[in-house]
Amino acid sequence: MKLFCSLPSPFARKVRALAAEKGLPLELVLVDVLDPTSPVAALNPLRKVPCLVDEHGEAWFDSPVICEWLDAMPGPRLIPEAFEARMRVKRIEALADGLMDAGVAIRLESVWAGRTAEQRSAAWMDWQWLKVEGAIEELERRLAGRAHFEGEALTLADLAVACGLEWLDFRLPDRPWRPRAPALAAWLAGMARRPSLAQTAPTAL
Ligand SMILES: N[C@@H](CCC(=O)N[C@@H](CS)C(=O)NCC(=O)O)C(=O)O
């Protein structure tokens, strides 16, 4: 299985961490999604990573779909099978993905080569940051001092949140989130030591 991805992408990291937890090998194909000639364009009309290409050559996106696809393969389940537990995990994943979407919007607003310095909007970035802050406050409240977001064992919810928060540290270090979520910060310090996360820590292109 080939995963088209970039090393900084928090969405791709979520997929890579889930695969690592399950012991599934993934062949990484590193791409620059902002390059109009990227091979991803032929696989995913949205031109986004991650994109998984299976052994039959079929392309799968986006990251929640890829995670479900991989979780159905052998190895420990990271998404519970029981309906309500499953929905609870997916809701936390959606919160983490929304945090990443808003963070990536801030990042692109500040670096995308298609905009001039005058066209970049600080107001737009602040609007996106409100979403990040809202997600962080909700995650702090939902974790409530526990070791895992849902149930007693590691799930995709934990991996998704860890990938989102560490991406904020990596790409938006001038927008600190820890003062608003001390319990989440302490939880992340422990979670980030898991091999699946330590091995996939974000690096530049
Ligand atoms: N909903 C998508 C979001 C993926 C996404 O936004 N990926 C970014 C990289 S972190 C991307 O490919 N951006 C390229 C673009 O927006 O043109 C998922 O969960 O996979």
Which one of 47, 71, 95 terminates a domain?
71
Do 182 and 114 lie in one domain? The reply is yes
Q: How many domains does the chain contain in total?
A: 2
Residues 63 and 157 in one domain: no
Is position 201 within any domain?
Answer: no
Query: Could you tell me if 62 and 105 lie in one domain?
Result: no
Residue 2, ligand 1, Cβ within 6 A: no
Report the pLDDT value the prediction gives residue 91, as an integer from 0 to 100.
98
Q: Tell me, using a 6 A CB cutoff, whether residue 93 lines ligand 1.
A: no
Low-confidence ranges of the chain (pLDDT < 50): none
The answer to whether residues 30 and 126 belong to one domain is no
Question: 61 lies in a domain?
Answer: yes
Q: Is residue 199 part of a domain?
A: no
Q: How far apart are CA 86 and CA 66, in angstroms?
A: 15
Q: CA 170 from chain center: how many Å? A: 13
Pocket test for ligand 1, best of 9, 11, 156 (most atoms within 8 A of CB): 11
Q: Where are the alpha helices (H) located in 23-121, listed in sequence order? A: 63-71, 83-111
Q: Give pLDDT, residue 117.
A: 95
Q: Ligand 1 within 6 A of 191 CB?
A: no
CATH of residue 41's domain is 3.40.30.10
Report how far ligand 1's centroid is from the alpha carbon of 49 (Å): 5
Do residues 46 and 90 both lie within one domain?
Answer: no
Q: Which of 15, 48, 71 is the C-terminal boundary of a domain?
A: 71
Domain boundary among 12, 41, 71: 71
* 58 in the same domain as 29: yes
Instruction: Give the mutation target among 6, 7, 13, 33 for probing the ligand 1 site: most ligand atoms within 8 A of CB.
Output: 33
Question: Is 168 in the same domain as 96?
Answer: yes
Domain that holds residue 103: 83-194
What pLDDT is attached to residue 128? 98
What tens digit of pLDDT does each residue of 110-131 get?
Answer: 999 999 999 999 999 999 999 9
CA of 36 to the centre of ligand 1 (A): 14
Classify residue 190: in a domain, yes or no: yes
The domain that contains 187 carries what CATH number? Answer: 1.20.1050.10
For residue 110, with 0-12 CB atoms within 10 Å meaning exposed, 13-18 middle and 19 or more buried, which class applies? middle
Q: Is 164 in the pocket of ligand 1 (CB under 6 A)?
A: no
Q: With beta carbons less than 8 A apart as the criterion, state whether 19 and 28 touch.
A: no
Sign of the C-alpha dihedral computed for residues 98, 1, 32 and 37 taken in this order: negative
Domain assignment present for residue 39? The answer is yes
The DSSP secondary-structure symbol of 86 reads: H
pLDDT of residue 61: 98
Give the distance (Å) from ligand 1 centre to CA of residue 202. 15
151 and 92 inside one domain: yes
pLDDT confidence of residue 204: 80
Asked whether residue 203 is domain-assigned, the answer is no
Q: Are 46 and 119 within one domain?
A: no
* Ligand 1 nearest-atom number relative to CA 33: 14
Q: Are residues 104 and 39 in the same domain?
A: no
